[in-house]
Chains A and B, each alone.
Chain A
Amino acid sequence: MSSYGDDEIDDYAYGLDEAERAARPIVILTGLKRSGKTSIRKVVFQKMSPNETLFEESTARVTQDTVRSSFINFETVEFPGQLSPFDANTEDMFRRCGALLFIIDAQDDYTEAQKTMAQYFAQAYQINQNIKFEVFIHKVDGLPEESKLDTNFELFHKMKEDLSEQGLDKIMNTVSFHLTSIYDHSIFEAFSKVVQKLIKQLPTLERLLDIFNQSSNVEKSFLFDVVSKIYIATDSSPVEMATYELCCDMIDVTIDISAIYGSKNDGTSAFDEKSYAEIRLQTEQVLVLRQLSKHLALVCILRSENYEKKGLIEHNFNIFKMGIEKVFRVRKQMNSGIPHSNSSQVGSYQ
């Protein structure tokens, strides 16, 4: 039963046709030098350990990377902090840009960074009005708790002033602020939110998760991209950082255990689309991980008394899985049916 439709829908459309490649949104990382752009990319997408980033070189080249797994499909472009991304011939890039990240080093004086940011946002807005602007107030691990919020507040207001001077108040509606650090899970959390805005099917996915939660008495569930530990959707209840961290750790544990005890002779990891794990906590809670496809996993947390009816959860999970597969089939059909109109819409993703 688990292999239902897998062949048919080609593992959630991992391979992309050319039309989609052109439509693949770009996430642009900007920020002054040494603000942590490379560190963020490496930690989130290349599994670098935070301390290793101390030995990162300064980035001289405009660096482009592709991030790809079932729902997530975009390019990251990092600009060297010393260059303005608008100097070179980058207009096309901004037309395809889904999110413009500006990373601010919160441990440093950020007046200059704030000025530059306002300028970049205004310029990008002229090229493409659909860009989502994201401010990462970064390296907050070094700051005391109360000053984090102060910083956030101060930056928000300065930005507002700067932009309204230029008559661009409305940009402010699309700017989000995140407090991040590579030394904890906040960077994954923040990136998850950025990525979610690029996923067209997000409302449907959220709805599916809500239904699953209700019918299975689950407290919280996340749909994870396993490799990057970005969650591409969650139910509509608010996200608590601690819960998210717990789920991330759960994925780590599962991957590690499968790597140590389950590796097959041919060297492939035992961690695959049929993986399944559960962990019981002292707090009378249970963590459950179910793999949906090569890249996607459903991780949910529920009270242990609700976990007694395993059969029900299993059943609901299968329904949920079918639902997800349907979402993908629709997308696939749309892509193959009208590939050209799709590519001509480059620039609007939502």
Chain B
Amino acid sequence: MQAAIALCHFCETHGPRVVITCQPIRDASNSQIFPENSDRGLHSPCEPSTSGATSPTEPPKYYGDNLTVVEDPDARCDACTSLGTTSYLLSNDHLTRTSYISSQVAFSEIVLDRIRTSCLRSLSYEISIPQLSLTQKGPLKDVNASSSKTSNDQNEDGKDDGNIFYGDSEHGYTFALTFRIPDTKARGLQRLYSLLVVSNDPTFLLNSHDFFLQALRSIKDKLRSLAMETFRRENQQMREAEEPLRPENASRISRLPPNLISRRISLDTKRTLQTITGDEEIWIRLHRHMMWTLRAQTMRIGDVILEGVPTQDMLVMMEMDETEIEELDLDSPNSHNLTLLQLHNLKTIATTLLVDGCGDDLEMLLKHIVTGGQVVIESDSQPLCRQFLLSLTNLLPLGCAKMCGWSDVYQHRFMVNLLGCPLNTDIPLDAEECLVIRLLSNGCDGLLLDGTNMEIRRRPQFAALMPKIVPRFKQLLLDPEIVDTILETTLRSTREKWLAKAKQFYQLQRQSTKIGFDKATQLVRATPHDKMVLIFWQAGLSRAFKEHVHEIIREQDLLNQKTPQNGQSTAC
């Protein structure tokens, strides 16, 4: 149990009672069968089950080990009863292989015990910090308190209600929110409730303190606003039915003998939460609220593990062959220095092309590379040629750079997009969309491109539509203020930004409900000019990720076939 959530009530007849508990049940590879006596329960992704939706012959399935059904240790009346002892609300979350079960009595001795102790504590012993508006001392406070009860509109919490954290290692830790909701038939016209998040792990509760506070408050607000409506309605009815209790007769009432008035105030302390909120589905509503509160936490923590640590480039690198890694110089121990050298060369290329080349040569090269065009370097020096190509790889995600540093024959662009070859290699004229650059060493040796001669020999067809990433790259490369280390970071973050877009694009494109091309482009906040980039850069996504996406979509499709009424989809 990471955490469980419960709603508790101070019952007029029985004292503190746990009304409903929502607990997550995890793991275990095989699904099992629910206890025979359950008449409720259905599995659908994160939708609570209702009794009508599943056939009684097919018992609901859930994750986790066999549940132990625990006897209800408490006497109860309607006010402290929720689903009864034989009904449950179940939601299965297939992503995290977790089932969320809401029940009147928790499914584990330990959980039950912890929650009962905490329930007593939250309602009868713990006091929250007084709210600012109520901190005035002296008789004024009393006047306020009693008047706010009768003028029910604002209906503030009692002065000791609110949120509080308490616990110890023996009984577990609790984050609790106590509050009152209006009820015309209750003593003092209010009833006291509390919402608890119980966990063994205090750090978990404290780290998520604000989140839980917000979540529990929103449940409270919902319950209260529903109850307030009922309260107003019933008050109205009472006024109409009973003449003497009208406000204009108030002065007479105070002089009536007490027995007469108390007979007028008809108490009924055994009303259910359904009655006072006027919502038959209140338990399902609560289950949904509590389940999402727990689930959001699981997903938040899950997210960190799934995406926070390895980037797509890292995953791609793990999936690469030896030879590829060698080709791209990725196995070198001091890769950082190599990258700096490559970036220096990249800047040299950029400035040279800008000065020597005609017009838009630099932009053309950039666009050509990021949209997946082939670049061929003819050169008299193999090492320089290789450096040239390596520096260009910095403009692409790792998975998109298919490089061949030196080859005597031309290779097709589907095999290699960065190709180096000797001077005067035969490049077939029908090799479309190919950018050929001649690189002459001018007597330079070493690994620096300074002083070399670059000449563009063949230009691809060049449309003026620029993907947004091109001007960005150009700006970064030409700005003399940006030193190499900063250039490295900025280039990487630019790459990652666009790779993330490509990733979203990939996911959107593969949903079973088709999303149009333009729509998808718009959803990832790209322009039509960026389309080629988005498509080409999908090659930079890791196989692991792609398989993951496919798997989820397959599972959802299967589910949707089974429960066609359910259109909800969960994105990863």
Contacts and interface: CB of A to CB of B under 8 A. Distances in A.
Residue of A34, A54, A183 most packed against chain B (CB within 10 A): A54
B150 A55 contact: yes
A329 interface: no
Contact of B261 (A54, A61, A183): A54
Interface string A75-87: 0000010110000
B514 to A, nearest CB: 56
B116 to A, nearest CB: 12
A50 B262 CA distance: 12
A7 interface: no
Interface string B173-217: 000000000000011111010000000000000000000000000
A61 B190 CA distance: 14
A142 interface: yes
Contact of A82 (B15, B158, B187, B258): B15
Contacts of B12: 33, 58
Contacts of B112: none
B350 to A, nearest CB: 73
B190 A57 contact: yes
A37 to B, nearest CB: 13
Contacts, number: 65
Interface in B130-160: 142, 146, 149-150, 158, 160
B444 interface: no
Contacts of A83: 15-16, 120, 124
A183 B262 CA distance: 14
Nearest to B146: A52
Contact of A80 (B15, B142, B265): B15
Contact of A56 (B16, B120, B187, B192): B187
Nearest to A47: B139
A51 B258 contact: yes
Given A60-B124, A61-B127, A62-B124, A141 B150 contact: no
A60 B142 contact: no
B254 A51 contact: yes
A62 B254 contact: no
A50 to B, nearest CB: 7
B14 interface: yes
B10 interface: yes
Contacts of B149: 55, 57
A88 B171 CA distance: 14
A341 interface: no
B259 interface: yes
A46 interface: yes
B487 interface: no
Contacts of A46: 142
Contacts of A88: 120, 125
A58 B254 contact: no
B124 A61 contact: yes
A60 B258 contact: no
B26 to A, nearest CB: 34
Interface string A133-170: 00000000110000000000000000000000000000
B123 interface: yes
A34 B187 CA distance: 9
A183 B12 CA distance: 24
Contacts of A48: 142, 146
16 contacts: A34-B187, A54-B258, A54-B261, A54-B262, A57-B186, A57-B190, A57-B192, A58-B186, A58-B187, A60-B10, A60-B16, A82-B15, A82-B16, A83-B15, A83-B16, A88-B125
Interface of A: 33-34, 46, 48, 50-52, 54-58, 60-62, 80, 82-83, 88, 141-142, 183
Given A48-B146, A83-B16, A183-B258, 9 more contacts: A51-B254, A54-B265, A57-B192, A58-B10, A58-B187, A60-B192, A61-B123, A61-B127, A141-B258
